[in-house]
Structure 1
Amino acid sequence: MTFCLVIYLCYLELELLRLRNFKYLNANSNIIFRRAARADYEFTYVILGGGVAAGYAAREFVKQGIKRGELAIISKEDVAPYERPTLSKEYLLPETHARLPYFHVCVGSGGERQFPEWYTDKGIKLILSTEIVEVELNSRDLVSASGDVFRYQTLIIATGSTPVRLTDFGVQGADAKNIFYLGEIDDADKLVEAIQEKKNGKAVIITRNYFGLEVSKAFQKNNFDVSMVFPEDWFISQWFNSVIAASYHSYYKSKGIKIFKSTRAVGFNANSSEEVKEVKLNDGTVLEADIVIVDIGIKAITSLLLGQFEQELGGIKTDAFFRTSVPDVYAVGDVATFPSKLYGNENILWVPVVDHARKSAEQAVKAIKASEEGKAIDEYDYLPHAYSRSFDLSWNFYGIRSGGEQVIFGEMDHVSPLHKFGAYWIINGKVWGTFLQNGTPEENEAMAKVARGQPRVYNLNVLKEQGLSFATNF
């Protein structure tokens, strides 16, 4: 009896050891994933995510001289990394619209287009249509929905961000058909299909950002009756002041776009096919709608990583080299928060803009390779930069704006053929932010230089008189 008991206990111990190498992720479907025992694929470097940052990181790895087979990009999308800003602009136009491979990275910064063949030529494994459902930092494993295990030595998290949805707030009827959020190319494809189906229809754009201004142009070009709804007193208050916004209000109204400010959507009505037909606003207004676009914010995609990293401002906290609190794991782009060298390292920034996605990816790769070689690189010294274009307007904003005083210069009247004007944000007597509409590349560069240099201003009236020349002569 004692012998049998010993055999049985040994059996139980072996079973426990075996089960420790498995992870039961989905009891309903009885899917079992291997963990720790072995990996199906092993790479020196893995980029998790296939957005803008992934493409720019891959380019920097190539510049740094990686070997064939060392790097893999894992993306749940089925296309190689592309410039996402195109989705709200040329992608939606009825004519001369943009389609892949036209806007693969790194065309957004004037670089070579990285077609799928580019990755093959460079010896980079592009693993598409693959969703990672578990991240095991201790064993350095990434587990896919199909059960494949990818092991890394160094990981770059570039999962990006996802739109905030009205269903998150329980808005009545927000799950109706033809309510769109534009985050990935699949979303854009479905939106294009709806535009073609609802020709000459009515579109309602619920927005808080410049994305809504860009999309409104596309719908207007598609002969839709367009209404824009936003909760603030003026357009995109995080970048515009009230004077600039008023100019944009006037311009967009001249294009036939209806504007509903200081209001928000509180519900939707649908037809018998469950397609949206009306948008109900909190002031009692009801807008007819065949298509609704929602852009009320974004949030970093960190659900797989909760509790495994230090977090701040909703993103993964990193240092000035985009190292996380976990060794050999980096985070870049929309998913990362980082200390600001320009504004003091005690100030942590979350900057979900494409310019930062590109530059943070490059910085992380440089830091990885420098660490391997025992070298040092400069800290990330980022000047926040947002930009947009729609109709015949384009603008660039550099720096930050938070309180302070504003000096506006130029021709605010959009009847002017140049449509050129700008603004300086003065905080504690220094220029901290600059805005310029329809500037030349050289003028925009000058405005960026001023925002970075933060020159002192002694007389606001003189600054207004100098206008753009204050920057170009700086």
Structure 2
Amino acid sequence: MAEKSFKYVIVGGGVSAGYAAREFVKQGVQPGELAIISKEAVCTYERPALSEAYLSPEGTARLPGFHVCVGSGGERLLPEWYTEKGISLILSTEIVKADLPTKTLISAAGDTFTYQILIIATGSAVIQLTDFGVKGADAKNIFYLREIDDADKLVEVIKAKSNGKAVIVGGGYIGLELSAALRVNNIDVKMVYPEPWCMPRLFTAGIAAFYESYYTNKGVDIIKGTVAVGFGTNENGEVTNVNLKDGRVLEADIVVVGVGGRPLTTLFKGQVEEEKGGIKTDAFFKTSLPDVYAVGDVATFPLKLFNEVRRVEHVDHARKSAEQAVKAIFASEKGTSIEEYDYLPYFYSRAFDLSWQFYGDNVGDSVLFGDSSPTSATHKFGSYWIKDGKVVGVFLESGTPEENKAIAKVARVQPPVDSLESLAAEGLAFASKI
């Protein structure tokens, strides 16, 4: 089998790979030095589009429209761009073995790739119900959304099951975004999750109450406090119903599961240090091996702002960590230095006509402000989180670009507050004056 050798190799073809490639070019990578190896058949794209515009009835988002780096307002990197820059885009190629001491990667087809410097950008894999032996979880029309192939199949079945019934398993990011997308497609939607409210890793009960009421008003039937324990099928092997732990049986033509993901680190087990479920890195995304870097979902890194190590699963960090690693690689080669990664955690979502942003940390006491009535004309409301007398996190629904910049600044600066009552009364005005 063929052996190919490169100075730099990126394993993984997600968002991080595209932003890293752009930074490599900025730093002056030479033609033939860089390869991206991806098991997907298309070059890197902005993954958040899959759960939002890609599923709209108009099909507004389609490749090549959302290749990176359009998600952050940058140039769209089409396949020709990689060719022009002399970057080897090795698609439909799954790496099944990584031998880090010998700097060797082997593909499922038996091809060998060697490198001098490796960037691990393998991202996460979705957790599947088949992993837990859930009865009938391998039925047709049960979907997980991670890659563009998944989205294409879901679009097909939405068209085939016009005015059908869908059950969304999970009440996090995917659950909320896909419930909205399917309702917009006139699908009857039930959303099932075990927690007392939706998006519990971020939302407080007060924030969640708005979204649950808003979704209910949009026709989404929310079922809390139970889980799917099995699926019924017809003679074609297609899902027909979802059996819940509380004994209820829900009819379903379509099931979408969004119960989280796991960082894809298996290839590197025992070869690099791990921490908190990811690959341990420093503030430059260098791992315990000097010529191996890890970025995006798989990296556990020092979060300077909160003086602790964390792993962050979000597209914003995927972009920025990739750029940081490439800058660090070139600085090391030149014998210069760059600043440590100083990341402000940032999460956002868009669904229906809603759009929220969150910055910082959701720990300590929380204060809800603004008009959080689900029938409000503006939907503008938010929350501050206060720890040790300082604001450490801010959430805002339906903010303007200026207001979103203001809450980001608050989360970064961490201003002191006199009282929770005065902060609640002042609301967004507090952020605007920082």
TM-score per shorter chain, which class?
A: over 0.9
Question: Which whole-Å CA distance do the structure 2 matches of 1:251 and 1:463 have between them?
Answer: 26
Question: Which whole-Å CA distance do the structure 1 matches of 2:375 and 2:304 have between them?
Answer: 41
Match of residue 223 from structure 1: 186
Question: Which whole-Å CA distance do the structure 2 matches of 1:65 and 1:287 have between them?
Answer: 56
Per-residue displacement from partner, 1:13-60 (whole Å, max 9, x unpaired)? xxxxxxxxxxxxxxxxxxxx7xxxxx7211111100000000000011
Query: What pairs with 1:135-146 in structure 2 (closer than 5 Å)?
Result: 135-146=98-109
Per-residue displacement from partner, 1:262-287 (whole Å, max 9, x unpaired)? 11111111111111111111111111
**Matched residue type, 1:232:** E
For structure 1, which segment, 449-458 or 82-91, has the greater mean C-alpha deviation from structure 2 after superposition? 449-458
Runs of 4+ in 1 over 4 A off after TM superposition: none
1:440 paired with 2:400, answer yes
Question: Which whole-Å CA distance do the structure 1 matches of 2:59 and 2:303 have between them?
Answer: 40
Match of residue 321 from structure 2: 360
Match of residue 398 from structure 1: 359
Match of residue 29 from structure 1: none
Match of residue 422 from structure 1: 382
Match of residue 54 from structure 1: 17
Match of residue 430 from structure 2: 470
Match of residue 408 from structure 1: 368
Match of 2:263 among 300, 315, 323: 300
Match of 2:46 among 70, 77, 83: 83
**Matched residue type, 1:139:** T
Contact 2:14-2:44 at 8 Å conserved across structures: yes
Match of residue 11 from structure 1: none
RCO comparison, higher one (Cα < 8 Å, 6+): 2
Contact 1:419-1:437 at 8 Å conserved across structures: yes
Identity over aligned pairs, percent: 64
Contact 2:171-2:191 at 8 Å conserved across structures: no
Question: Which whole-Å CA distance do the structure 2 matches of 1:357 and 1:392 have between them?
Answer: 26
Per-residue displacement from partner, 1:427-472 (whole Å, max 9, x unpaired)? 1211111000011111111101111111111111111121111111
Match of residue 117 from structure 1: 80
Q: Gapped runs of 5+ residues in structure 1?
A: 1-32, 34-38
Secondary structure class of the residue paired with 2:203: coil
Question: Which whole-Å CA distance do the structure 1 matches of 2:429 and 2:26 have between them?
Answer: 38
Secondary structure class of the residue paired with 2:98: strand
TM-score, normalising length from structure 2?
0.98
Per-residue displacement from partner, 1:313-335 (whole Å, max 9, x unpaired)? 21111111100111200000011
TM-score, normalising length from structure 1?
0.90
Match of residue 254 from structure 2: 291
Secondary structure class of the residue paired with 1:342: helix
Match of residue 245 from structure 1: 208
Query: What pairs with 1:50-449 in structure 2 (closer than 5 Å)?
Result: 50-344=13-307, 347-402=308-363, 404-449=364-409
Higher Cα radius of gyration? 1
For structure 1, which segment, 146-155 or 102-111, has the greater mean C-alpha deviation from structure 2 after superposition? 146-155
- What is the RMSD of the two structures over their aligned residues, measured on CA atoms? 1.1
**Matched residue type, 2:14:** G
Match of residue 15 from structure 1: none
Secondary structure class of the residue paired with 1:320: coil
Following superposition, the deviation at residue 169 of structure 1 comes to 1.3
Question: Which whole-Å CA distance do the structure 2 matches of 1:444 and 1:326 have between them?
Answer: 39
**Alignment length (residue pairs):** 434
Question: Which whole-Å CA distance do the structure 1 matches of 2:108 and 2:185 have between them?
Answer: 39
Secondary structure class of the residue paired with 2:222: strand
Question: Which whole-Å CA distance do the structure 1 matches of 2:212 and 2:172 have between them?
Answer: 14
